[in-house]
Structure 1
Amino acid sequence: MYIATTPIEVRYAETDQMGVVYHANYLIWFELGRTALINDLGFRYADMEKEGILSPVVDIKASYKRPVRYGDQVMIRTWVETYDGIRVCYGYEVLNGEGEICVTGESVHTCVKRESFRPVSIRRKFPEWHKAYEEVKKEPVMDRM
């Protein structure tokens, strides 16, 4: 499993009245991590969009463990949690400077045609992406019964 790492320095504008990062900003950080992962694998979302394909979020989750504050240095860890040729589930962790997990999350994406929003097989349309995702996705845990 490959994990992309993206450093972030928390900006004042990303915090709320309580002085912690506003919850919706983690979704933006997830996007930064996802983009870094895709770039690390040698691809670009923009190239996909030039071919008339979009990759909307169909499900997203975030679980908040510890607060992150203005001026903190955090690391976004991003990986391919699951992939089936059509849907991609990305996993995320936001770690503080001490390496403690502050936020975990997942986002699920499906590729669709821009004009119709009909699903597209990544396996067929983008065989290089398919191969890369198969190589880097998280290995399933085998049941030891």
Structure 2
Amino acid sequence: MYISKTKVEVRYAETDQMGVVYHANYLVWCEIGRTKIIEEMGFKYADMEKEGVLSPVINVQFSYKYPAKYGETVEVRTWVEEYTGVKVTYGYEIVNGEGVTCLTGTSEHVCVTKDSFRPISMKRKFPNWHEVYEKIKKS
């Protein structure tokens, strides 16, 4: 299983009055991690969009373990938890500089045509992506 690692500095604007990261910002950080793993696979999400394909989120499951705080740098760890050829589930772990897990979770995505929002087969439309997802997904 391949794990992508991305550093994110916790910015003041991402926190509440207590200096604790507001929960919705973890979604943004996971998107950063997801974009990074796709780039590390050798692809760009923007290229998929140019082909008329989108990859909307259909489910998100997060478990908040420990608060990330202003001034810290966290590491977003991202991997392909599950891949079916149509649906991709990414796994996430966000860890602070002390090695404490702040969040674990997953997000599920389905590739759809931009015009109809109908699901498509990655294997048929993007065989190169399909091959890499099959190679790096969690066994």
1:9 aligns with: 9
1:83 aligns with: 83
* Mean Cα deviation higher: 36-45 or 94-103: 94-103
Q: Which amino acid aligns with 2:66?
A: R
1:73 aligns with: 73
Residue segments in structure 2 that go unaligned for 5+ positions in a row: none
1:53-64 mapped onto 2 (5 Å cutoff): 53-64=53-64
1:39 aligns with: 39
Q: What's the CA shift for 1:21?
A: 0.3
Q: What's the CA shift for 1:62?
A: 1.0
Q: Which amino acid aligns with 1:33?
A: G
TM-score by length of 1: 0.95
Q: What's the CA shift for 1:94?
A: 0.3
SS of match in other structure, 1:115: coil
CA distance in 1, matches of 2:44, 2:18: 36
2:49 aligns with: 49
User: Equivalent pairs: percent with the same residue?
Assistant: 63
List 4+ stretches of structure 1 deviating above 2 A. none
For 1:12-33, what per-residue CA distance to the aligned partner results, in whole angstroms no more than 9, with x for missing partners?
Answer: 0000123200000000000000
CA distance in 2, matches of 1:11, 1:105: 22
TM-score by length of 2: 0.99
Q: What is the aligned residue count?
A: 139
